[in-house]
Amino acid sequence: MLARRDRHVALALAGALATAAGCTLSVTGTLPVAEPPPPAEAGVPDASLPSPGDAAEAPDAPPSTGAAVVLAAVGGVDAPTGYAQQTHLVYAVNAQRWWLFTFDDAAPDAIRTRSSVDFVTWQAGPEIPLPHPHGKHGGFLSVAYADVGAVDVVHVAAEFYLGTVDQRHYHARVTLSGAALAYGAFELVSRVGDALMPAAPIGPVALVTPAGGVVDGTGYSPYFGNPATTANMNAYSASTTELGTSWTPGFGPREDVGSVPFTVHTRAFAALGGSDVLAVWESADGEPKPTNLRWARRTNGVWGGGVTALPASATLFGANDWSLARLGDADVHVVRRAGDDYVHRRYDGAAFVDGQVLSKAPASD
**DSSP state string for 99-140:** EEEEEETTEEEEEEEEEESSSSS-EE---EE-SS---SBGGG
**pLDDT score at 307:** 72
pLDDT digits (tens, 9 = 90+) for 322-332: 999 999 999 99
| Residue 37 φ/ψ, nearest 5 degrees | -70, 160
49 pLDDT tier (thresholds 50, 70, 90): very low
For residue 173, the cross-strand partners are 155
Does the pLDDT at position 286 exceed 80?
yes
Domains present along the chain, CATH in parentheses: 2-22+140-357 (2.115.10)
- Strands 277-282 and 267-271, how do they pair? antiparallel
| Residue 166 near residue 193 (C-beta atoms within 8 A) | yes
Dihedral of CA atoms 6, 9, 11, 12 in degrees, nearest 10, equals 170
Contact predicate 174/181, CB 8 Å: yes
Average predicted confidence (pLDDT) for the chain: 85
Is a pLDDT exceeding 80 seen at residue 106?
yes
Confidence category of residue 250, pLDDT binned at 50, 70, 90: very high
Distance from C-alpha of 334 to C-alpha of 266, rounded to nearest angstrom: 13
d(CA 143, CA 101): 8
For the chain, the first-to-last Cα distance in angstroms comes to 37
Kindly state the average pLDDT of the residues 11-37.
52
* pLDDT of 43: 35
- More confident: 53 or 190: 190
Say what the pLDDT of residue 59 is: 61
Q: pTM for the whole thing?
A: 0.86
Q: Is the pLDDT of residue 29 over 90?
A: no
What pLDDT, on a 0 to 100 scale, did the predictor assign at position 3?
57
Q: Tally the C-alpha atoms within 13 A of residue 265's C-alpha that lie toward its C-beta.
A: 24
User: Could you please report the per-residue DSSP string of 167-235?
Assistant: EEEEEEEEEEETTEEEEPPPEEEEEE--TTS-SS----EEEE-TTS-EEEEESSS-GGG-TT--SSEEE
Q: Which of 141-145, 312-316, 345-349 has the highest mean pLDDT?
A: 141-145
DSSP 38: P
Could you read off the pLDDT of 112-169 as tens digits, one per residue?
Answer: 999 999 999 999 999 999 999 999 999 999 999 999 999 999 999 999 999 999 999 9
